[in-house]
Structure 1
Amino acid sequence: MNDARQLGTNVLVLAPSLSSVSTERCVEQVEALGPAETPILDLTFTDSPDRRIETWQRRLSTPPPAIEVVAVGRTRGSTDPNDGSVRYGADGRFGARTIDDPRDMTGIGIAVTETFDRWSAWDRAVVRVGELTTLLQYAETSTVFRFLHVLTNRLTEANAVAFFRLAPDAHDEQTVGTLFQLFDDAIRIEE
Protein backbone atom coordinates (compact mmCIF):
# COMPACT_ATOMS: atom_id res chain seq x y z
CA MET A 1 0.00 0.00 0.00
CA ASN A 2 1.09 3.58 -0.54
CA ASP A 3 2.94 5.45 2.18
CA ALA A 4 0.62 7.28 4.59
CA ARG A 5 2.26 10.62 3.77
CA GLN A 6 1.52 10.32 0.07
CA LEU A 7 -1.66 12.29 -0.35
CA GLY A 8 -4.52 11.87 -2.77
CA THR A 9 -4.78 8.09 -2.60
CA ASN A 10 -7.94 6.07 -3.22
CA VAL A 11 -7.84 2.50 -1.92
CA LEU A 12 -10.37 -0.24 -2.65
CA VAL A 13 -10.79 -2.56 0.34
CA LEU A 14 -12.13 -5.93 -0.81
CA ALA A 15 -13.50 -7.56 2.31
CA PRO A 16 -16.39 -9.79 3.37
CA SER A 17 -19.64 -8.00 4.17
CA LEU A 18 -19.43 -8.15 7.96
CA SER A 19 -15.78 -7.12 8.23
CA SER A 20 -14.82 -3.83 9.89
CA VAL A 21 -11.47 -3.75 8.09
CA SER A 22 -12.10 -0.46 6.24
CA THR A 23 -12.56 1.35 9.56
CA GLU A 24 -9.43 -0.32 10.93
CA ARG A 25 -7.39 0.80 7.90
CA CYS A 26 -8.72 4.34 8.28
CA VAL A 27 -7.75 4.40 11.96
CA GLU A 28 -4.22 3.29 11.00
CA GLN A 29 -3.98 6.09 8.41
CA VAL A 30 -5.33 8.75 10.77
CA GLU A 31 -2.82 7.68 13.42
CA ALA A 32 0.02 7.72 10.83
CA LEU A 33 -0.93 11.14 9.46
CA GLY A 34 -1.35 12.69 12.91
CA PRO A 35 -4.81 12.45 14.49
CA ALA A 36 -4.79 16.00 15.84
CA GLU A 37 -4.31 17.37 12.30
CA THR A 38 -6.41 14.92 10.28
CA PRO A 39 -10.17 15.40 9.88
CA ILE A 40 -12.32 12.38 9.00
CA LEU A 41 -15.14 12.12 6.49
CA ASP A 42 -17.25 8.98 6.81
CA LEU A 43 -19.83 8.04 4.18
CA THR A 44 -22.05 5.29 5.52
CA PHE A 45 -24.85 3.36 3.88
CA THR A 46 -25.71 1.22 6.91
CA ASP A 47 -24.98 3.03 10.20
CA SER A 48 -26.46 6.07 11.87
CA PRO A 49 -24.35 9.24 12.10
CA ASP A 50 -24.32 8.94 15.88
CA ARG A 51 -22.94 5.41 15.73
CA ARG A 52 -20.19 6.34 13.26
CA ILE A 53 -19.09 9.35 15.34
CA GLU A 54 -19.03 7.19 18.48
CA THR A 55 -16.95 4.57 16.65
CA TRP A 56 -14.34 7.16 15.66
CA GLN A 57 -14.20 8.69 19.12
CA ARG A 58 -13.72 5.24 20.67
CA ARG A 59 -11.04 3.98 18.26
CA LEU A 60 -8.72 6.97 17.95
CA SER A 61 -6.06 7.67 20.55
CA THR A 62 -6.29 11.43 19.95
CA PRO A 63 -9.50 13.21 18.93
CA PRO A 64 -9.41 14.49 15.36
CA PRO A 65 -10.04 18.17 14.63
CA ALA A 66 -13.30 17.29 12.82
CA ILE A 67 -15.50 14.34 11.95
CA GLU A 68 -18.21 14.63 9.32
CA VAL A 69 -20.59 11.73 8.69
CA VAL A 70 -22.74 11.54 5.58
CA ALA A 71 -25.38 8.88 6.22
CA VAL A 72 -26.97 7.72 2.99
CA GLY A 73 -30.34 5.98 3.03
CA ARG A 74 -32.59 5.25 5.95
CA THR A 75 -30.16 4.50 8.74
CA ARG A 76 -31.28 3.35 12.17
CA GLY A 77 -30.49 4.64 15.63
CA SER A 78 -29.89 8.29 14.84
CA THR A 79 -31.30 10.92 17.14
CA ASP A 80 -31.99 13.12 14.14
CA PRO A 81 -34.53 12.48 11.40
CA ASN A 82 -33.26 11.82 7.91
CA ASP A 83 -34.14 15.25 6.63
CA GLY A 84 -30.86 16.17 4.94
CA SER A 85 -29.92 18.63 7.69
CA VAL A 86 -26.47 19.16 9.11
CA ARG A 87 -25.93 19.14 12.87
CA TYR A 88 -22.82 19.82 14.90
CA GLY A 89 -21.72 18.85 18.37
CA ALA A 90 -21.41 21.43 21.16
CA ASP A 91 -17.82 22.17 20.15
CA GLY A 92 -18.61 22.25 16.42
CA ARG A 93 -16.14 19.47 15.58
CA PHE A 94 -18.65 16.74 14.78
CA GLY A 95 -21.14 17.03 11.96
CA ALA A 96 -23.68 14.80 10.35
CA ARG A 97 -25.75 14.98 7.23
CA THR A 98 -28.32 12.53 6.03
CA ILE A 99 -29.33 11.86 2.45
CA ASP A 100 -32.52 9.82 2.23
CA ASP A 101 -32.12 8.32 -1.23
CA PRO A 102 -29.02 6.22 -2.03
CA ARG A 103 -29.67 6.93 -5.71
CA ASP A 104 -29.05 10.65 -5.03
CA MET A 105 -25.39 10.52 -6.03
CA THR A 106 -25.45 14.23 -6.86
CA GLY A 107 -26.50 14.94 -3.28
CA ILE A 108 -23.73 12.71 -1.96
CA GLY A 109 -21.19 14.51 -4.14
CA ILE A 110 -22.44 17.91 -2.98
CA ALA A 111 -22.12 16.85 0.67
CA VAL A 112 -18.51 15.74 0.09
CA THR A 113 -17.63 18.95 -1.76
CA GLU A 114 -19.20 21.15 0.93
CA THR A 115 -17.29 19.26 3.63
CA PHE A 116 -13.95 19.76 1.87
CA ASP A 117 -14.77 23.41 1.23
CA ARG A 118 -15.21 23.88 5.00
CA TRP A 119 -11.98 21.95 5.62
CA SER A 120 -9.74 24.15 3.48
CA ALA A 121 -7.56 24.91 6.53
CA TRP A 122 -6.32 21.30 6.66
CA ASP A 123 -3.80 19.88 4.21
CA ARG A 124 -5.23 16.37 4.19
CA ALA A 125 -8.11 14.21 5.39
CA VAL A 126 -8.99 10.54 5.72
CA VAL A 127 -12.19 9.30 4.12
CA ARG A 128 -14.08 6.06 4.76
CA VAL A 129 -16.67 5.14 2.17
CA GLY A 130 -18.82 2.34 3.55
CA GLU A 131 -20.24 -0.58 1.70
CA LEU A 132 -20.25 0.06 -2.06
CA THR A 133 -22.24 -3.16 -2.32
CA THR A 134 -25.21 -1.30 -0.84
CA LEU A 135 -24.86 1.48 -3.40
CA LEU A 136 -24.78 -1.12 -6.18
CA GLN A 137 -28.16 -2.40 -5.00
CA TYR A 138 -29.70 0.95 -5.96
CA ALA A 139 -27.93 1.78 -9.21
CA GLU A 140 -26.42 0.11 -12.26
CA THR A 141 -22.69 -0.57 -12.27
CA SER A 142 -22.14 2.03 -15.01
CA THR A 143 -23.88 4.72 -12.92
CA VAL A 144 -21.89 3.83 -9.80
CA PHE A 145 -18.70 3.80 -11.90
CA ARG A 146 -19.34 7.35 -13.16
CA PHE A 147 -20.16 8.55 -9.66
CA LEU A 148 -17.03 6.95 -8.18
CA HIS A 149 -14.90 8.36 -11.00
CA VAL A 150 -16.00 11.89 -10.08
CA LEU A 151 -15.72 11.19 -6.34
CA THR A 152 -12.23 9.66 -6.48
CA ASN A 153 -11.01 12.59 -8.57
CA ARG A 154 -12.50 15.04 -6.07
CA LEU A 155 -10.83 13.23 -3.18
CA THR A 156 -7.49 13.16 -4.99
CA GLU A 157 -7.73 16.92 -5.58
CA ALA A 158 -8.48 17.37 -1.86
CA ASN A 159 -5.36 15.35 -0.93
CA ALA A 160 -7.46 12.76 0.89
CA VAL A 161 -6.52 9.22 1.74
CA ALA A 162 -9.76 7.37 1.02
CA PHE A 163 -10.83 3.79 1.66
CA PHE A 164 -13.78 2.37 -0.28
CA ARG A 165 -15.20 -0.94 0.92
CA LEU A 166 -16.61 -3.58 -1.43
CA ALA A 167 -17.72 -7.15 -0.67
CA PRO A 168 -16.35 -8.99 -3.73
CA ASP A 169 -18.32 -12.16 -3.02
CA ALA A 170 -21.56 -10.20 -3.56
CA HIS A 171 -20.67 -9.28 -7.17
CA ASP A 172 -19.54 -10.92 -10.37
CA GLU A 173 -15.93 -10.57 -11.48
CA GLN A 174 -16.84 -8.07 -14.21
CA THR A 175 -18.39 -5.65 -11.69
CA VAL A 176 -15.42 -5.92 -9.35
CA GLY A 177 -13.00 -5.49 -12.28
CA THR A 178 -14.87 -2.47 -13.61
CA LEU A 179 -14.75 -0.65 -10.28
CA PHE A 180 -11.20 -1.82 -9.50
CA GLN A 181 -9.71 0.34 -12.25
CA LEU A 182 -10.82 3.54 -10.46
CA PHE A 183 -8.48 3.04 -7.52
CA ASP A 184 -4.79 3.69 -6.90
CA ASP A 185 -4.37 0.66 -4.69
CA ALA A 186 -6.31 -2.29 -3.31
CA ILE A 187 -6.33 -4.42 -0.19
CA ARG A 188 -7.91 -7.88 -0.26
CA ILE A 189 -8.96 -9.29 3.09
CA GLU A 190 -9.74 -13.00 3.31
CA GLU A 191 -11.57 -14.25 6.39
Structure 2
Amino acid sequence: MYLYKTGIPLIDREFGGLRAATNILILAPPLAYAEHLAYRIACPLPGEWTVAITTDERAADVAGAFRRQGAVMNHVGFIDAVTKTSVPTLRDTTKAKFVTSPLDLTSMGIKFSRMVEDMWKEGVMADPPGPMPPPVRLCINSVSTLLLYARLEVTFKFLHVITNRVKKLEGVGVYVLNRESFDERTIATIKQLMNMVVEVRTDDGRQPVERDFRVVGIRGRTTPWIRYLYDDGALTIEG
Protein backbone atom coordinates (compact mmCIF):
# COMPACT_ATOMS: atom_id res chain seq x y z
CA MET A 1 0.00 0.00 0.00
CA TYR A 2 1.20 3.49 -0.85
CA LEU A 3 2.39 5.58 2.10
CA TYR A 4 2.15 9.37 2.07
CA LYS A 5 5.05 11.14 3.77
CA THR A 6 3.81 13.98 5.99
CA GLY A 7 6.84 16.14 6.67
CA ILE A 8 6.28 15.38 10.37
CA PRO A 9 9.47 13.59 11.48
CA LEU A 10 7.87 11.39 14.15
CA ILE A 11 5.08 10.16 11.83
CA ASP A 12 7.36 9.48 8.87
CA ARG A 13 10.04 7.82 11.00
CA GLU A 14 7.85 5.58 13.17
CA PHE A 15 4.95 4.85 10.80
CA GLY A 16 6.48 5.43 7.37
CA GLY A 17 3.82 8.07 6.67
CA LEU A 18 0.06 7.87 6.25
CA ARG A 19 -1.69 4.98 4.58
CA ALA A 20 -3.65 5.59 1.40
CA ALA A 21 -7.40 6.26 1.80
CA THR A 22 -6.94 8.27 5.01
CA ASN A 23 -8.94 11.33 6.08
CA ILE A 24 -7.56 13.51 8.87
CA LEU A 25 -9.31 16.21 10.89
CA ILE A 26 -7.09 18.94 12.33
CA LEU A 27 -8.94 20.17 15.41
CA ALA A 28 -7.41 23.42 16.63
CA PRO A 29 -8.09 26.60 18.57
CA PRO A 30 -7.95 29.99 16.83
CA LEU A 31 -4.57 31.56 16.00
CA ALA A 32 -2.78 28.20 16.11
CA TYR A 33 -1.65 28.37 12.45
CA ALA A 34 -3.29 24.97 12.02
CA GLU A 35 -3.77 25.63 8.31
CA HIS A 36 0.00 25.52 7.89
CA LEU A 37 0.09 22.08 9.51
CA ALA A 38 -2.55 21.10 6.97
CA TYR A 39 -0.48 22.51 4.11
CA ARG A 40 2.57 20.59 5.34
CA ILE A 41 0.67 17.28 5.40
CA ALA A 42 -0.97 18.01 2.04
CA CYS A 43 2.24 19.13 0.29
CA PRO A 44 2.84 16.83 -2.70
CA LEU A 45 6.11 14.98 -3.13
CA PRO A 46 7.47 14.21 -6.63
CA GLY A 47 4.93 12.11 -8.54
CA GLU A 48 2.06 13.23 -6.29
CA TRP A 49 -0.73 15.79 -6.74
CA THR A 50 -2.62 18.07 -4.40
CA VAL A 51 -5.99 19.85 -4.55
CA ALA A 52 -6.47 22.68 -2.05
CA ILE A 53 -10.03 23.88 -1.47
CA THR A 54 -9.82 27.27 0.19
CA THR A 55 -12.76 28.99 1.85
CA ASP A 56 -10.68 31.28 4.11
CA GLU A 57 -7.89 32.66 1.90
CA ARG A 58 -7.39 33.59 -1.73
CA ALA A 59 -5.82 30.90 -3.90
CA ALA A 60 -2.86 33.20 -4.52
CA ASP A 61 -2.10 33.33 -0.79
CA VAL A 62 -2.48 29.57 -0.36
CA ALA A 63 -0.19 29.02 -3.36
CA GLY A 64 2.44 31.09 -1.56
CA ALA A 65 2.10 28.87 1.51
CA PHE A 66 2.57 25.70 -0.56
CA ARG A 67 5.52 27.27 -2.37
CA ARG A 68 7.19 27.91 0.99
CA GLN A 69 6.62 24.25 1.86
CA GLY A 70 8.62 23.32 -1.24
CA ALA A 71 5.74 22.03 -3.37
CA VAL A 72 6.16 21.52 -7.10
CA MET A 73 3.51 24.07 -8.05
CA ASN A 74 2.43 22.54 -11.35
CA HIS A 75 1.25 19.57 -9.28
CA VAL A 76 -1.00 21.70 -7.04
CA GLY A 77 -4.52 22.83 -7.98
CA PHE A 78 -6.75 25.29 -6.16
CA ILE A 79 -10.50 25.64 -5.75
CA ASP A 80 -11.06 29.17 -4.47
CA ALA A 81 -14.34 30.12 -2.76
CA VAL A 82 -13.10 33.57 -1.73
CA THR A 83 -11.73 35.62 -4.62
CA LYS A 84 -14.71 35.59 -6.97
CA THR A 85 -16.74 37.64 -4.50
CA SER A 86 -14.55 40.64 -5.24
CA VAL A 87 -13.51 39.71 -8.81
CA PRO A 88 -16.63 38.17 -10.41
CA THR A 89 -15.08 38.04 -13.91
CA LEU A 90 -12.47 35.44 -12.92
CA ARG A 91 -12.30 32.45 -15.25
CA ASP A 92 -11.22 28.92 -14.37
CA THR A 93 -7.84 27.60 -15.48
CA THR A 94 -6.46 24.08 -15.36
CA LYS A 95 -4.95 24.57 -11.91
CA ALA A 96 -7.20 27.28 -10.44
CA LYS A 97 -10.98 27.08 -10.31
CA PHE A 98 -13.36 29.51 -8.64
CA VAL A 99 -16.76 29.25 -7.00
CA THR A 100 -18.95 32.15 -5.94
CA SER A 101 -18.89 31.47 -2.18
CA PRO A 102 -18.35 28.73 0.44
CA LEU A 103 -22.09 28.08 0.16
CA ASP A 104 -21.70 26.69 -3.36
CA LEU A 105 -20.85 23.16 -2.27
CA THR A 106 -22.21 21.57 -5.44
CA SER A 107 -19.81 23.50 -7.68
CA MET A 108 -16.98 22.82 -5.25
CA GLY A 109 -17.55 19.07 -5.49
CA ILE A 110 -17.88 19.09 -9.28
CA LYS A 111 -14.71 21.12 -9.75
CA PHE A 112 -12.81 18.89 -7.35
CA SER A 113 -13.76 15.82 -9.41
CA ARG A 114 -12.79 17.51 -12.68
CA MET A 115 -9.46 18.68 -11.32
CA VAL A 116 -8.61 15.20 -10.05
CA GLU A 117 -9.50 13.71 -13.45
CA ASP A 118 -7.14 16.18 -15.15
CA MET A 119 -4.38 15.34 -12.67
CA TRP A 120 -4.82 11.62 -13.29
CA LYS A 121 -4.54 12.19 -17.04
CA GLU A 122 -1.33 14.15 -16.54
CA GLY A 123 0.00 11.45 -14.23
CA VAL A 124 -0.71 8.68 -16.72
CA MET A 125 0.93 10.60 -19.56
CA ALA A 126 4.02 11.64 -17.56
CA ASP A 127 7.42 10.53 -18.81
CA PRO A 128 8.46 8.54 -16.91
CA PRO A 129 5.02 7.61 -15.56
CA GLY A 130 4.53 7.96 -11.81
CA PRO A 131 2.84 5.56 -9.37
CA MET A 132 -0.57 4.17 -10.33
CA PRO A 133 -3.05 5.29 -9.33
CA PRO A 134 -1.48 8.76 -9.17
CA PRO A 135 -1.28 9.70 -5.46
CA VAL A 136 -3.59 12.63 -4.64
CA ARG A 137 -3.74 14.77 -1.50
CA LEU A 138 -6.66 17.04 -0.61
CA CYS A 139 -6.69 19.96 1.82
CA ILE A 140 -9.83 21.86 2.89
CA ASN A 141 -9.26 25.06 4.85
CA SER A 142 -11.61 25.29 6.45
CA VAL A 143 -14.54 23.16 7.52
CA SER A 144 -15.32 25.93 10.03
CA THR A 145 -16.23 28.32 7.23
CA LEU A 146 -18.40 25.71 5.51
CA LEU A 147 -20.33 25.28 8.76
CA LEU A 148 -20.85 29.04 9.06
CA TYR A 149 -22.46 29.12 5.61
CA ALA A 150 -24.40 25.85 5.63
CA ARG A 151 -26.27 23.75 8.20
CA LEU A 152 -24.42 20.87 9.83
CA GLU A 153 -26.49 18.33 7.90
CA VAL A 154 -25.62 19.95 4.55
CA THR A 155 -21.92 20.25 5.39
CA PHE A 156 -21.85 16.64 6.62
CA LYS A 157 -23.39 15.40 3.37
CA PHE A 158 -20.81 17.33 1.31
CA LEU A 159 -17.90 16.06 3.40
CA HIS A 160 -19.29 12.52 3.28
CA VAL A 161 -19.08 12.64 -0.52
CA ILE A 162 -15.59 14.19 -0.49
CA THR A 163 -14.11 11.82 2.11
CA ASN A 164 -15.48 8.82 0.22
CA ARG A 165 -13.99 10.21 -2.97
CA VAL A 166 -10.60 10.47 -1.23
CA LYS A 167 -10.89 6.84 -0.14
CA LYS A 168 -11.73 5.66 -3.66
CA LEU A 169 -8.80 7.65 -5.04
CA GLU A 170 -6.54 6.00 -2.42
CA GLY A 171 -5.58 9.53 -1.43
CA VAL A 172 -5.15 11.51 1.77
CA GLY A 173 -7.55 14.24 2.88
CA VAL A 174 -6.78 16.95 5.46
CA TYR A 175 -9.56 19.11 6.94
CA VAL A 176 -9.18 22.05 9.37
CA LEU A 177 -11.83 22.79 12.02
CA ASN A 178 -11.78 25.46 14.76
CA ARG A 179 -12.76 23.48 17.85
CA GLU A 180 -13.79 26.54 19.89
CA SER A 181 -16.42 27.77 17.43
CA PHE A 182 -18.71 24.73 17.54
CA ASP A 183 -20.40 22.51 20.09
CA GLU A 184 -19.46 18.92 20.89
CA ARG A 185 -22.29 17.52 18.77
CA THR A 186 -20.99 19.29 15.67
CA ILE A 187 -17.41 18.21 16.29
CA ALA A 188 -18.46 14.61 16.98
CA THR A 189 -20.50 14.54 13.75
CA ILE A 190 -17.57 15.68 11.62
CA LYS A 191 -15.23 13.25 13.39
CA GLN A 192 -17.39 10.34 12.18
CA LEU A 193 -16.03 10.88 8.68
CA MET A 194 -12.37 10.76 9.71
CA ASN A 195 -9.79 8.03 10.24
CA MET A 196 -7.73 10.10 12.65
CA VAL A 197 -7.62 13.45 14.41
CA VAL A 198 -4.76 15.90 14.89
CA GLU A 199 -5.39 17.71 18.18
CA VAL A 200 -3.70 21.11 18.49
CA ARG A 201 -3.21 23.02 21.73
CA THR A 202 -1.58 26.34 22.58
CA ASP A 203 -0.17 27.88 25.74
CA ASP A 204 -0.78 31.61 25.52
CA GLY A 205 0.68 32.15 28.98
CA ARG A 206 4.23 31.85 27.72
CA GLN A 207 6.34 34.09 25.52
CA PRO A 208 6.73 33.15 22.80
CA VAL A 209 3.40 31.33 22.60
CA GLU A 210 3.93 27.57 22.58
CA ARG A 211 1.97 25.32 20.27
CA ASP A 212 1.95 21.56 19.91
CA PHE A 213 -0.13 18.74 18.48
CA ARG A 214 -0.67 15.02 18.71
CA VAL A 215 -2.14 12.51 16.28
CA VAL A 216 -4.97 10.35 17.61
CA GLY A 217 -5.85 7.13 15.83
CA ILE A 218 -2.75 6.43 13.75
CA ARG A 219 -2.45 2.63 13.60
CA GLY A 220 -4.60 2.53 16.73
CA ARG A 221 -2.17 4.70 18.67
CA THR A 222 -1.85 8.27 19.95
CA THR A 223 1.47 10.03 19.47
CA PRO A 224 3.19 12.14 22.13
CA TRP A 225 2.70 15.89 21.91
CA ILE A 226 4.87 17.39 19.16
CA ARG A 227 6.03 21.01 19.38
CA TYR A 228 5.82 23.26 16.30
CA LEU A 229 6.70 26.86 15.54
CA TYR A 230 5.39 29.21 12.88
CA ASP A 231 7.36 32.36 12.22
CA ASP A 232 7.45 34.69 9.22
CA GLY A 233 5.93 32.13 6.85
CA ALA A 234 8.10 29.22 8.01
CA LEU A 235 6.70 26.18 9.81
CA THR A 236 9.14 24.18 11.97
CA ILE A 237 8.16 20.85 13.53
CA GLU A 238 10.34 19.46 16.30
CA GLY A 239 11.22 15.83 16.73
TM-score by length of structure 1 reads 0.83
CA deviation string 1:67-103 (max 9, x = no partner):
1111114478x9xx34462235xxxxxx211111222
> Could you say which residue in structure 2 is the equivalent of 1:149?
160
Please state if 1:127 is matched with 2:133. no
Q: Is the 8 A contact 1:38 1:64 kept in 2?
A: no
The 5 A counterparts of 1:33-182 are 35-60=45-70, 63=72, 65-74=74-83, 81-83=87-89, 85-87=91-93, 95-120=95-120, 121=123, 123-182=134-193
Identity %: 21
1:20 is aligned with what amino acid? Y
Shift of 1:64: 5.0
Change (3 A) 1:5 1:177: closer
* Structure 2 unaligned regions, length at least 5: 1-10, 124-132, 203-239
Of structures 1 and 2, the larger Rg is shown by: 2
Between the aligned partners of 2:177 and 2:18, the Cα distance in structure 1 is 24
TM-score by length of structure 2 reads 0.67
Please state if 1:9 is matched with 2:22. yes
SS of equivalent to 2:201: coil
* Structure 1 unaligned regions, length at least 5: 89-94
> Could you say which residue in structure 2 is the equivalent of 1:21?
34
Q: How many residues align?
A: 178
Between the aligned partners of 1:24 and 1:149, the Cα distance in structure 2 is 23
Change (3 A) 1:174 1:27: same
Q: Is the 8 A contact 2:49 2:134 kept in 1?
A: no
Q: Is the 8 A contact 1:48 1:75 kept in 2?
A: no
Between the aligned partners of 2:113 and 2:90, the Cα distance in structure 1 is 15
Q: Is the 8 A contact 2:42 2:174 kept in 1?
A: no
Change (3 A) 1:28 1:178: closer
Between the aligned partners of 2:165 and 2:103, the Cα distance in structure 1 is 19
Between the aligned partners of 1:161 and 1:22, the Cα distance in structure 2 is 16
Higher helix residue share: 1
Q: Is the 8 A contact 2:28 2:201 kept in 1?
A: yes
RMSD: 2.3
